[in-house]
Structure 1
């Protein structure tokens, strides 16, 4: 792994020296430089790693559109911050997006983002020149070409999710291309999907089944990763945003060509389901399975409930070479654990630079999780939804979730294990941080200004009273300093793949297909919940909900949002479902964090009203790019 990261790092430096503002710089770089890059196997391998460079950079959560614009987390907007944290993505939901200077602009790499068209150009260069090194074996050549095709597919897909119709870069234009030849048109979404799938199908046979040399090759493409990406592409293509979306039906380019599909095609769901199943079958051949926590030697007896919490938390934070659930992990480690951690000790309070705790989950995220019966809290007949904001003091039976004797709101009691694995809150138990006795674990004390104090010239705070606990390894320690156990956030893990498959089957067949419940209930079982039909029959005010396509769709969507929360998936899911406007229709609220008494602290305070309209489902192309290339058309409603 070190070898891969170092080589990618070198090429990242080289790429940073290049201009990021040239529109679709599709003509090749200096020919002499290319010849040098492919003079032997080692140089060619370096170039291959440069093709991976922007894939590695995309792992930065601060510039990930699906992480920052999902509404799962908000970020304080009035802080003095000397860490140089990029708030551009978070500020999109505050209304700071514009066509003049788009945030997270992957079209041309401005405003803290990365130029994915340049990444595609590098992949094309590699395929054009792969025959030059005479010391490269045929097996290596086939694999490297397959990796380049995989990466081309990924970069095209990333752009498609953001912009919809994009120009396909099947090959680099000749160096003597005319101005008009460089002024490319956008291809339709269906054409883009077809090309991405074609690339992946060409790549899959020549990709390795698994990585054999873990020390030097983790992070490179494999067959199961490519099958997972293919499933992702086809699920996106089948979903309402791109499958007969009436909001885009009449959008054409300046030749009159339609850029979006005109009618809904249900067969796209069958194609997506088949792709999901193929990825699942490959995963099974590799003996991948849902992760369950096994006590390491330094931890004694754990309650079943706490072990379930750690199974969920560690399904994301376990080492990627030891996690049987990971299909495709990010190669760089997640670098924001301190942003997701509350200050649990007196020393940590005065160490704000390493433990800012600024990733803030709004109250709406707390409301999303099920009750401990496995149904939505507003449907559970046994759960006091109307009184959820009244106060309750934790008893001995609550002690593994809420500190015994601590007073907090009733909403924090009687919730499913994924709630306690994913969110930290006032009074919530925090197992870990160098304390591994479940009877003596830390707990969060969020009320009042003392918990958020820091150096006078560096004021940082969590503005809602909820932290994304799921993004912190339980063995990471934040005290007078910090000892961080690194982990790699998954791009695709098996639970997400199961839920994709269940979703596609429901959309195509409806709830009569029994496989839906097989895979949906497998994910719920790991979380300690009964199956969907059993839970809704016993506890829900809408017991028939799983028996209709619409009802089961709602269940599957909520299940994905719960299971994959904070993993940079919801931002894409809510867009492809066309549910983002609904999800962001209410103000972002938190608790009255400066109040020291429970009765004053637990009063919702509005932080801001998110701004998300119909136009925001797709990113705007920068206005200047449209002037440079009049053959492009702007995205709808911008």
Structure 2
């Protein structure tokens, strides 16, 4: 009987319980059962799904450093209960160590993080793909391509965390000697070239898109593989890995340099070409930027203001099969909406236990978003940056963003639509939650912790007074209990690919026409003018976009805004070598227990992050270095 893709994860749990570990998972376990495993097509298909299983485990956002160490979210460390995996959130507090590394995907003590074990399963699949006699040639070609992609992606996942890694192209036999098992780390460029080579092999034999979405949505396509190839090449070209002087002289024990000591602009040229190819193929298959069309359940004519907000929210929370922008998402639904939702009703306040609301956004993240003129708040000569914490009352003109008559701060007014789509704030309108009349929408009342919890109840505490609104489907309802409308967190969407191309092209050629074309597509969807028009008219640095350096700053901020809360910024900031700077200042929120606006709107430090040069790459566990003397530790650990 065919096992549908949506059942992959359940099937794989049993497989994860059978494992062995010796240096790295490079030797296959369960060797005696392989003949049975590949005796026919159905059994082989089951094994194909186990190759996918670790990919689905990566859907756990609390174990994704791109989310937990991005500076976008603060999770409190003083809760009376600990309902989630807090290790990733704690890393910016300086808890990382080489003794017991947090989020250890190298050693993989947690089965969901055993990425080398997943690579070993892929190798086993490829080594036995000829065994099932009833497997058709077309299926065989597709399955090989899928597993080649998965093998490439697992190597990529490790490489962006650890840099140079051992390449496990084939499983070693169970008779392998100790020295054979003691693998070495390959140079970073060798690793990236290997990953790209696997993707190039896979792409021709993958379907362009999934036709049978009910059965196969989530399986790998050409568009996914092309987009991942672009992302890998951009990583390879980025400052962390492209001639980084901090890693000059880092060698293995045989004297092989593990990083190229010289910057190579050609890597950006290759990355830009790969991005453009991926974009061309995506658009040829009908992908386009998402825009929200109000359903019949929303009465009357929805204001342009709320249409823009819902376009941006639904770019992430729309169902995959209805979202023309979504290139790839992981198949399990995203399960943390309750951590992103404030209490908006009397019943929710009385019954907080189904919705903790503890994913808190620091003030620094909210200040990333532009003014309504499309430039940074500290550059807009019309906005008044220095008075942003002054009090201001909601008026009729801003009523779809800020509750009319409610006192909040100037920082919450005259901001771009993405600010209102991404951020829930004191006095901010929250459209949805069961009320679809724009004139009667809920708004957040956070002062005095009234929509949070009292200080005596630290299970349910938002420590800044800001919520990641973008990660909540507007049709989810938190009232007497929580009824979420599920969605799948995007790994790749067209808007992100446009910005990746703009970045790579700017680094390769400077701010040429296509750089503006693709960044402006994303800005236009957000209701903003193009970069050149916005900066020329409103910025106190009106020619910033005319240089490569200036345009780089614009693109980096644009990516952080557009992809905020999507587990992308943490990885971007690492490859740009900017995370250390971002985490060099305290992360602050408002004085959440104060009732009066004048006292509430005083910034209060929540975390003073600890992030040094060594933290750009993960440490390898000390025990692994003892067991395998051919390995070398990452720099500065």
TM-score (norm 2): 0.98
Distance in 1 (alpha carbons) for counterparts of 2:461 and 2:368: 23
Q: Which residue of 1 aligns with 2:7?
A: 6
Q: Which residue of 2 aligns with 1:25?
A: 25
Distance in 2 (alpha carbons) for counterparts of 1:40 and 1:354: 46
Post-superposition CA distance 1:272-323 (Å, at most 9, x none): 0000011001101111000000011101211111101111110011000010
Query: Secondary structure of 2:408's partner?
Result: strand
Distance in 2 (alpha carbons) for counterparts of 1:14 and 1:267: 43
Is the CA contact 1:350–1:455 (under 8 Å) kept in the aligned structure 2? no
Query: Secondary structure of 1:33's partner?
Result: helix
- The alpha carbon displacement at 1:154 in A equals 0.2
Query: Secondary structure of 1:538's partner?
Result: helix
Distance in 1 (alpha carbons) for counterparts of 2:17 and 2:111: 12
Query: Secondary structure of 1:607's partner?
Result: strand
- The alpha carbon displacement at 1:113 in A equals 5.3
Query: Residues 89-238 of structure 1: matches in 2 within 5 Å?
Result: 89-110=88-109, 114-238=113-237
Query: Residues 483-562 of structure 1: matches in 2 within 5 Å?
Result: 483-511=483-511, 513-562=512-561
Is the CA contact 1:402–1:429 (under 8 Å) kept in the aligned structure 2? yes
Distance 1:441 1:457, change over 3 A: closer
Query: Secondary structure of 2:450's partner?
Result: helix
- The alpha carbon displacement at 1:456 in A equals 6.7
Distance in 2 (alpha carbons) for counterparts of 1:508 and 1:146: 31
Q: Which residue of 2 aligns with 1:400?
A: 400
Is the CA contact 2:165–2:186 (under 8 Å) kept in the aligned structure 1? yes
Is the CA contact 2:237–2:267 (under 8 Å) kept in the aligned structure 1? yes
Query: Residues 215-614 of structure 1: matches in 2 within 5 Å?
Result: 215-300=214-299, 301-453=301-453, 459-511=459-511, 513-614=512-613
Distance in 2 (alpha carbons) for counterparts of 1:68 and 1:119: 23
- The alpha carbon displacement at 1:370 in A equals 0.3
Query: Secondary structure of 2:545's partner?
Result: helix
- The alpha carbon displacement at 1:605 in A equals 0.7
Post-superposition CA distance 1:470-522 (Å, at most 9, x none): 100000001111111100111000000000000111101111x1011110100
- The alpha carbon displacement at 1:2 in A equals 8.5
**Mean alpha-carbon deviation: is it higher for 344-353 or for 51-60?**
344-353
Distance in 2 (alpha carbons) for counterparts of 1:547 and 1:620: 40
Distance in 2 (alpha carbons) for counterparts of 1:141 and 1:208: 13
Distance in 2 (alpha carbons) for counterparts of 1:71 and 1:194: 31
Distance in 2 (alpha carbons) for counterparts of 1:588 and 1:111: 30
Is the CA contact 1:312–1:421 (under 8 Å) kept in the aligned structure 2? yes
TM-score (norm 1): 0.98
Distance in 2 (alpha carbons) for counterparts of 1:52 and 1:111: 17
Q: Which residue of 2 aligns with 1:71?
A: 71
**Mean alpha-carbon deviation: is it higher for 447-456 or for 278-287?**
447-456
Query: Secondary structure of 1:451's partner?
Result: coil
Query: Residues 50-61 of structure 1: matches in 2 within 5 Å?
Result: 50-61=50-61
Runs of 5+ in structure 1 lacking a partner? Answer: none
Is the CA contact 2:337–2:471 (under 8 Å) kept in the aligned structure 1? yes
**Mean alpha-carbon deviation: is it higher for 588-597 or for 351-360?**
351-360
- The alpha carbon displacement at 1:457 in A equals 6.7
Is the CA contact 1:349–1:454 (under 8 Å) kept in the aligned structure 2? no
Distance in 1 (alpha carbons) for counterparts of 2:603 and 2:172: 56
Post-superposition CA distance 1:146-172 (Å, at most 9, x none): 000000000000000000000000000
Distance 1:467 1:88, change over 3 A: same
Query: Secondary structure of 1:160's partner?
Result: helix
Distance in 1 (alpha carbons) for counterparts of 2:429 and 2:454: 23
Is the CA contact 1:338–1:355 (under 8 Å) kept in the aligned structure 2? yes
Post-superposition CA distance 1:559-581 (Å, at most 9, x none): 00000000000011000000011
Distance in 1 (alpha carbons) for counterparts of 2:127 and 2:457: 54
Is the CA contact 2:8–2:53 (under 8 Å) kept in the aligned structure 1? no
